[in-house]
Structure 1
């Protein structure tokens, strides 16, 4: 992010890359720094709508606020400036959304730059063709302004009272009694309420074909595995080399 070579039309190539259009403009002599990587990664792509993933997991938390605020602002400004309006709609999906849109805690109602940007998108974005999908295990840590703008809520098991209370405030009065079931929901089960369903419904989420490796590690087995313990110094060296960006 801080070591990008100079090239023509940086904003245009960036927006093209984000929205699934060819940043090189099908020009073999393009000076876009990532042209070779782009061609390699997209040679087997099909036509149609695209998905762009921003992996921000390794960005330090004190920098993350500025990065996400800038991303959100650029995409919102693009949507506002588009004419005709909403011709190319965008859906921003925020995994672990409480990291990007934290609740405002100070007495003056101030918050992070990122919170301010995504609150504006939540309140004004739909008419410009830009919407939000938020995923979080701690909805009580999310900005209440953003949660209140959610048209549809898919709620899995929640045991913390503050999380349940926030969802009740953001849900239609007729659906609030259903949320009392949240602490006892089984894995992969959820309650869906809002504009996407005529009435609140209970659903089971389908199995994932290539499920993520999200199981908790076996600490005792790791600590008692002599072969794994002996391999620790080499593991540290590999992580440090990757961390510092050395080849």
Structure 2
């Protein structure tokens, strides 16, 4: 640490618990989000290197008054160390939050429960130290011999270090196990950031099983991983990508619950009673058709009560290509280690998107539960490995309101960790997300957000979003993020790395599309012409109107 420059001197305790204030000259690059370090005795045989994170800074003329009144502090010596004059000069009054030091006995960071003394010199935290201590994972030097290296996701670099490349990595296990929220305004790079994470999860060190719910068709380019050298393993490993287009998506009728059917058919109370009886008759069947459901309704209520319901079944199920008697989405084909499956749902209605998400999540939950605690009779094939699911436009699936997928997403976020099911929720409108679901996401990647309602939703629901995180959000630019929560030991400002694969989620260029559409229209013969009739009337006879 001695090789790092002195950036400031401690002045006094801060206003909040665990905060202290230090003075730094105008010339020192100590911006918000930067990390500083100092040595402090914690009762052991040697001093510990304690880390702190800069949370605020303000300009102050001359040395702080506390220096001038403290007899134990030589103001002249401090001024010399800071490169300022004792009787004047411009300094910054900077507030920092104590992070702590790594305690191998606890395998985590510990707060020393005491602030540095006034006059303590602060150094810029070494980059190599930050690369080790930012991720919430046991540092290499403290791991047991023979323990495998944890899978790490390289997300980018420390934003504040322009003069050196400090890598920011996240432990994949923490991200998947504690669930993830990526929150950002439109155009800030949330889908890009999600794709970076998926690339990392599909590299040889992790080989994850990932299922993406994609309402807009933004993740097709992930199939480029299959032939990219960055994803090749020394054992011949290459990831696979399965892109399911809208016409390849359907839901098996027998996988629907009674609540699903009520949502789809929207029956009256009288019809609902008929539907309930018919569903009870068919519930044990491995497969049934819409016609089977109609017949079950008539069988239980031959007096005519089922006639209106049969019309709804015919219109919503029989005539739909989305609902099928057979399973076209077998979990064995969708979720395999080293494979990302993208469900392109851009051709489906919002209701159908929610129904599909609900059905697949319920099946995944049961399959993983069967693998972990036993093999119940209603699960055909247990899934023997963890699965990570990613929901683009998550407010479609888990809105602050009604959704067929909301209850199972809540259940997975609440209990999925013990069964190895992780979720990632991506949204541009945190205030439109179910606040219970948002609060269950232990790791957050938050990008530029200016809407006050969305900022308030993050403040209310995201445990790791302190004032320091929220204050950064409006000033972030595209590709910049605050990573916080369970996967890191402290919030960290990050510049997201460039993708290995191309990005397909760029905004539509309206001016270009208008010009192309106009040119196409000019070059296409008109397909509408007046009908040719004997009497010259467009309507083929009758009195002139």
TM score, norm. by length of structure 2? 0.33
After superposition, the CA RMSD in angstroms is: 2.9
Q: Which residue of 1 aligns with 2:511?
A: 219
Q: Which residue of 1 aligns with 2:395?
A: 98
Q: Which residue of 1 aligns with 2:353?
A: 64
Secondary structure, aligned partner of 1:216: coil
Matched, 1:144 2:144: no
* Aligned mate of 1:16, from 329, 332, 355: 332
Matched, 1:187 2:470: no
* Aligned mate of 2:455, from 164, 168, 175: 164
Structure 2 vs 1, CA of residues 233 and 167 (structure 1 numbering), >3 Å: closer, same or farther? Answer: farther
Q: Distance in 2 between matches of 1:152 and 1:5?
A: 37
Question: Which range moved further: 219-228 or 92-101?
Answer: 219-228
Secondary structure, aligned partner of 2:466: helix
Question: Which range moved further: 141-150 or 60-69?
Answer: 60-69
Secondary structure, aligned partner of 1:125: helix
Matched, 1:81 2:370: yes
Secondary structure, aligned partner of 1:113: coil
| Structure 2 residues not aligned, in runs of 5+ | 1-249, 251-320, 375-382, 527-545
Q: Which residue of 1 aligns with 2:100?
A: none
* Per-residue deviation, 1:169: 2.0
Structure 2 vs 1, CA of residues 232 and 144 (structure 1 numbering), >3 Å: closer, same or farther? Answer: farther
Q: Distance in 1 between matches of 2:434 and 2:494?
A: 26
Structure 2 vs 1, CA of residues 219 and 175 (structure 1 numbering), >3 Å: closer, same or farther? Answer: same
* Aligned mate of 2:493, from 197, 202, 206: 202
Q: Distance in 2 between matches of 1:128 and 1:233?
A: 60
Q: Distance in 1 between matches of 2:491 and 2:330?
A: 41
* Per-residue deviation, 1:84: 5.5
* Aligned mate of 2:412, from 117, 121, 134: 121
**After superposition, what is the alpha-carbon deviation per residue over 1:127-163, rounded to whole angstroms, capped at 9, x for unaligned?**
1110101111111111111110111110010111111
Structure 2 vs 1, CA of residues 213 and 72 (structure 1 numbering), >3 Å: closer, same or farther? Answer: closer
Q: Distance in 1 between matches of 2:406 and 2:462?
A: 21
Q: Distance in 1 between matches of 2:332 and 2:516?
A: 51
Q: Distance in 2 between matches of 1:61 and 1:3?
A: 13
* Per-residue deviation, 1:174: 7.2
Structure 2 vs 1, CA of residues 5 and 67 (structure 1 numbering), >3 Å: closer, same or farther? Answer: closer
Divergent runs of 4+, >6 A: 3-7
Structure 2 vs 1, CA of residues 219 and 15 (structure 1 numbering), >3 Å: closer, same or farther? Answer: same
Q: Which residue of 2 aligns with 1:33?
A: none
Q: Which residue of 2 aligns with 1:42?
A: none
Q: Which residue of 1 aligns with 2:522?
A: 230
The answer as to whether partners of 1:152 and 1:192 remain within 8 angstroms in 2 is: yes
Structure 2 vs 1, CA of residues 5 and 121 (structure 1 numbering), >3 Å: closer, same or farther? Answer: closer
* Per-residue deviation, 1:232: 6.8
Structure 2 vs 1, CA of residues 192 and 173 (structure 1 numbering), >3 Å: closer, same or farther? Answer: closer
* Per-residue deviation, 1:227: 2.3
Structure showing greater radius of gyration is 2
Question: Which range moved further: 200-209 or 174-183?
Answer: 174-183
* Per-residue deviation, 1:53: 1.2
**After superposition, what is the alpha-carbon deviation per residue over 1:9-45, rounded to whole angstroms, capped at 9, x for unaligned?**
x59x81211123xxxxxxxxxxxxxxxxxxxxxxxxx
The answer as to whether partners of 1:192 and 1:202 remain within 8 angstroms in 2 is: yes
Secondary structure, aligned partner of 1:154: strand
* Per-residue deviation, 1:231: 5.1
* Per-residue deviation, 1:122: 0.7
* Per-residue deviation, 1:170: 2.7
Pairs aligned (count)? 198
Secondary structure, aligned partner of 1:82: helix
Larger strand share, 1 or 2: 2
